[in-house]
Amino acid sequence: MAYPKLYLLLPLFFLFASCSEASTERLSNSEAAAEQATLDTTGLARATFAGGCFWCTEAYFERLQGVEAVESGYSGGKKPNPTYEEVSAGATDYAEAVQVYYNPEEITYQQLLEVFFATHDPTTLNRQGPDYGKQYRSIVFYRTPEEERMVRAYVQQLEETGTYRNSIVTKIQPFRKFWEAEAYHQDYYRLNPNDPYVQSVARPKVLKFESAYSQLLKPEYRK
């Protein structure tokens, strides 16, 4: 199935509240863990991205046809077993990230790249909207030389077509390690519909995403 180039569509990266400071009504770790379905990831490809608050980023990717699971977590740092409190305080080198498990026969790495760049602002250094700090920096973590080539080629294409007014500052670096975040962060958008941040920031962005990219979505998310 052929899809249009997503870079021709306007990026959806405007935020109106802070992820790290949002007032939340969270499920406990045990409740969130119980909600998560066990998934056999055998045979699935993986892609890892950091593009600001992982609650929104996770929601985008989990709606895509061919994506079997998305985990929120931390990547890009060195300290073992980082915690949300450490990362959100900027006390580590980690960025909030998502790990995407996908079937490459249904969706390609190139399409994941296009969704990633279209759903956050890759031109702001250590910031997404009101969320400040290196934990919100934009990164693509590549696993193979071919993925690195694809990322660099796509960034060059975005720059040459003038998709963004400012230069792209997204880091392109090899994947080292992904640490899964605490259970209450997983599938946060679905499990916390009454959270003020979800209602005021995430939901409008996700609805716009579903409307703009309906041809890429799983059937249950198509309008």
Q: Write the pLDDT tens digit of every residue in 145-159.
A: 999 999 999 999 999
Q: What is the mean pLDDT of the chain?
A: 86
Q: Are 65 and 217 in contact (CB under 8 A)?
A: yes
Task: State the Cα–Cα distance between residues 46 and 100, nearest whole angstrom.
Answer: 5
- pLDDT for position 8: 40
Q: Span 1-10, mean pLDDT?
A: 39
Q: The tokens 């602002």 sit on which residue?
A: 121
Confidence class for position 42, pLDDT limits 50, 70, 90:
confident
Q: Span 76-93, mean pLDDT?
A: 95
Span of 24-28, 103-107, 131-135, 146-150 with lowest mean pLDDT: 24-28
Task: State the Cα–Cα distance between residues 12 and 189, nearest whole angstrom.
Answer: 17
DSSP-based three-state secondary structure for 159: helix
pLDDT for residue 84 is more than 50: yes
Catalytic residues: 53
What is the value of pTM for the model shown? 0.85
pLDDT for residue 222 is more than 70: yes
Joined tokens for residue 68: 């079997």
Confidence class for position 21, pLDDT limits 50, 70, 90:
low
What percent of the chain lies above the pLDDT cut of 70?
83
Q: Span 24-29, mean pLDDT?
A: 45
Residue 193 CB neighbours (<10 A): 11
Confidence class for position 39, pLDDT limits 50, 70, 90:
low
- pLDDT for position 143: 98
In the chain, the domains with their CATH numbers are: 42-216 (3.30.1060.10)
How many helices (H) and strands (E) are present in the chain, helices listed first? 8, 8
- pLDDT for position 40: 74
Task: State the Cα–Cα distance between residues 140 and 169, nearest whole angstrom.
Answer: 11
H or E element, residue 70: strand 67-75
pLDDT tens track for 131-146: 889 999 999 999 999 9
